[in-house]
Structure 1
């Protein structure tokens, strides 16, 4: 079992509040967040951006390990995740995460690559966590 931590502090309430978010490792330290960073284009981060980074990195690592299990030893994987936040009644809901993968993996055909990538999308821990539609668009070269 592995555990990780993150923390958030929010001062003030609603749109007037301001917060800071950090990861336990210190990779993200006191990054500002609030209504303006989430909806108004202000400098800082927001929960959906952090989920997108987590999903992209989790999927990419899962795919890397799956390709290694296929006996492949070389390649480059670049994934961008776009997380969508939609209005849901009186609140909001993350409704989807769209993964866009650019891969250069010599030694695997496109059909097998698509199978391995789809399985990694379905089974990476962050995909399993999200209660949202998850799509995968990929391009393989090499």
Structure 2
């Protein structure tokens, strides 16, 4: 099993607090996030855009594998994943992930489209959006 990770640090309350996000690889290192970047469109990152980027990347990779299996060559894929955060009760929930993709390649367009629908359901990030979540807690 391949295991990768991301981490976050947070200090303060929801609206006045500040956080930093990092990844195991170091590609993201102490990138700031907070209420303003998540809910008010201020500069910085937020969890939903990171999920969207991961989803678009995963889908594109899965699609390239499926297309290769169908003999489609000279593939170019551009994908966006819009992640919808909705108010739910006293909190929020991610309710939607909408992929938009533009694909070019040498092959039957209907086969390419069919492959895209397979990747939509089969990429690991699409699957994780319905994953079992577990938790270990340490209170210090």
Fold conserved (TM > 0.5)?
yes
Deviation >4 Å, runs of 4+:
none
Q: How far apart are the structure 2 equivalents of 1:63 and 1:55?
A: 12
What are the residue-to-residue correspondences of 1:13-24 with 2, within 5 Å?
13-24=13-24
Residue 112 of structure 1 corresponds to 111
Residue 92 of structure 1 corresponds to 92
- The reply to whether residue 125 of structure 1 matches residue 124 of structure 2 is yes
Aligned-residue offset at 1:41: 1.8
User: 3-state SS of the aligned residue for 2:72?
Assistant: coil
Cα RMSD (Å): 0.9
User: 3-state SS of the aligned residue for 2:87?
Assistant: strand
Residue 39 of structure 1 corresponds to 39
Aligned-residue offset at 1:65: 0.8
Structure 2, unaligned runs of 5 or more? 131-140
Q: Would you say how many aligned residue pairs link Structure 1 and Structure 2?
A: 130
Q: How far apart are the structure 2 equivalents of 1:126 and 1:87?
A: 23
Of 58-67 and 72-81, the range deviating more from structure 2: 72-81
Aligned-residue offset at 1:31: 0.8
Q: How far apart are the structure 1 equivalents of 2:42 and 2:22?
A: 18
Aligned-residue offset at 1:72: 2.6
User: 3-state SS of the aligned residue for 1:41?
Assistant: coil
How does the TM-score come out when normalised to structure 1?
0.88
What are the residue-to-residue correspondences of 1:5-84 with 2, within 5 Å?
5-84=5-84
Residue 4 of structure 2 corresponds to 4
